[in-house]
A and B are shown apart, each in its own frame.
Chain A
Amino acid sequence: MAAKTIISRPIYGTLSPQPGKHHLFLADAEGALAIVDMAKTAPPGFFGGAEIVFIPGPDGKHVAALEALRPAQFHLAPSFASLLPRLKQTLSNAHMGLRLYLSGTEGLIGQAMQVALEAGIDHTSMQTEHRGSLARRMQCVHCKGITENVTTQPATCAHCGLLLLVRDHYSRRLAAFQGVCINAEDRSEIPPIEEAFP
């Protein structure tokens, strides 16, 4: 679980079954376990009105556990980018009262929330639970490029190559943490690079 740091950073909760008929779950990797844990307290028939979309990640685990919940719809996606067109359509056709549950890495939660916000769903009406990797999605404040799965502090921008301090300052609109050049004043200063977001 990520420690709470500063106010712009999202606070994640624990998924719990919400009233309503339509439930959309989005999870990656160990986020599946948040859904499985939540299912233990769900009323009978809850998943009969649920769609689960899952991005398993490299080790491919947890697919069977989710299928065992027997959701009305179950979709496996290889990446968030591949999922995007389908997700946009689902949200734009959603019934009033659709409940959204996001679980897994901060990158997945943030990007899914970004798409949902654009579709007019208020961020306070979504359930989130952070599970698994602490890897961050980072926007370089200099070139504006997004670097995915940042695990080190500092981290190199995948676009412009500057060495960036990964700040805790977070933008929901960009679904990204801010990266600012760490040695802007004297480029010959190279701080040690440490594994900070495993």
Chain B
Amino acid sequence: MGITFRKETFRDDFTFKNSPEHIRRFPFPFHEDAYMYAVNIEPHVVGPKGSVLENLIDVDEHYVAEMQDRALVLAEDPLRCQSLPHMTLAGWDLLELLMEQQALGYPEHFTLTRDGDRWRWINRPLGIDDTFTFGDTSTLPYGPMEYITRQSQGDFCILDQRDGNLWMDAGMVTTQADWSLDFDIGMNFFEWHAPVPLAHEKGIFTRALKFLTNIQQGKPARRLNWTMTINPRLDTSPENYHKWGPDRTTVTPENVGDKVHLRVELQSFWRLPRSNGIVFPIRCYLIKMDELVTQPKWARRLHRVIRDLPEELATYKGLTRYRPTLVEWLSKLDDGSATSPGFGPD
């Protein structure tokens, strides 16, 4: 049986919701009752059935709605998808990776057939059936990166590796947590992370870069990152900050459960075979507080993490304005009892 794709929105009337099964599989990012930066990178290997790691490229009930939201963002602002001229080959690498992984994990929804360079791609949820020549951009309606990332959940950054560094030279970025591809494109690893507080001093980026530049083909890696978003809005770009920023003033004790969302990024890192680039999918998962606290362990732990978060991190993540209201609301769900180790619900 395939996935039942939800009809929902990430803007205007915000009808986004998680089904009970999707609440249970939410990638809760805190393995203990506190949070601080760490180089929390691990091998990206298949995880338990029913988790977001069941397949290395996860497709879920929000797929169709997310792709519709992406199309709306791109129609408003085409600069969210950019590729410097030397990155086309890496775009083909990414197209191959995403078609293979989606067809492997979800054969009822996606089919890839290859006859030499002649490829046929069937995407049933989006009603696409295209035949094209691999490597020939004129046979696709968009460049290879744009074509396949209009059909894949999450943002994608393609990094060129040279001079011992990684360069943000292409990307499809429409669901970002407040960073601008248009501003950062062409920057190296340290430059595009320059605004992140505390982590440079801890040597996080030096160690992370060393790890990433050594990633081998067929051995992807992953890490989790998180922030919070008011309303289930995918497009929290700096470009539109003046449009979504006022949402942060609307949190009240009465609407916390519905408005405040934990936003988790499952970031993975893959070596690309032809270009030797690295692709960095940033898959975004949203869950509203009312849904999250159906798991008592998560409610207790999130209360402790948000309450004790260093002020500098709270500011960077944009929580300052509504943190007291959120902590007060979560405190009522924290009886002070111990939480079990690990990420999962009890």
Contact = CB atoms under 8 A, between A and B. Distances in A.
Given A169-B183, A180-B241, A185-B248, 8 more contacts: A7-B190, A7-B200, A141-B180, A144-B79, A171-B187, A181-B241, A184-B242, A185-B321
Closest 9 CB pairs between A and B? A184-B245, A8-B194, A8-B191, A185-B245, A7-B194, A173-B186, A6-B194, A184-B242, A181-B242
A142 interface: yes
Interface residues of A, number: 23
B258 interface: no
B26 interface: no
B183 A162 contact: no
Contact of A185 (B190, B239, B246): B246
A180 B186 contact: no
B202 to A, nearest CB: 14
A172 interface: yes
A159 interface: no
A9 interface: yes
Interface string B307-326: 00000000000000100000
Interface of A: 6-9, 139, 141-142, 144, 162, 167-169, 171-174, 178, 180-181, 184-187
Contacts of A184: 241-242, 245-246
Nearest to B244: A184
Nearest to B178: A180
A139 B183 contact: yes
Given A139-B183, A185-B246, A185-B249, A169 B194 contact: yes
Interface in B219-251: 238-242, 245-246, 248-249
Interface in B134-190: 180, 182-187, 190
Contacts of B249: 185-186
Contacts of B245: 181, 184-185
Nearest to A185: B245
Contacts of A139: 183
Given A7-B191, A8-B191, A186-B249, A162 B242 contact: yes
A168 B242 CA distance: 20
A181 B242 CA distance: 6
Interface string B247-285: 011000000000000000000000000000000000000
Interface in B183-229: 183-187, 190-195, 200
B242 A142 contact: yes
Interface in B316-344: 321
B183 A141 contact: yes
Contacts of B238: 141-142, 180
Interface residues of B, number: 25
B186 A172 contact: yes
A149 B83 CA distance: 30
Contacts of B194: 6-9, 168-169
* Most chain B CB within a 10 A radius of its CB, from A144, A178, A185: A185
A171 B195 contact: no
A187 B187 CA distance: 32
A159 to B, nearest CB: 13
Contacts of B246: 184-187
A184 B242 CA distance: 4
Given A172-B186, A184-B246, A141 B195 contact: no
Contact of B239 (A8, A141, A174, A186): A141
Contacts of A174: 183
B186 A171 contact: yes
Nearest to A171: B183
Nearest to A143: B239
Nearest to B184: A171
Given A184-B246, A185-B249, A186-B246, A173 B185 contact: yes
A8 B188 CA distance: 9
A153 to B, nearest CB: 16
13 contacts: A8-B191, A8-B192, A141-B238, A171-B184, A173-B186, A178-B180, A180-B241, A181-B245, A184-B241, A184-B242, A184-B246, A185-B245, A185-B321
A174 B194 CA distance: 16
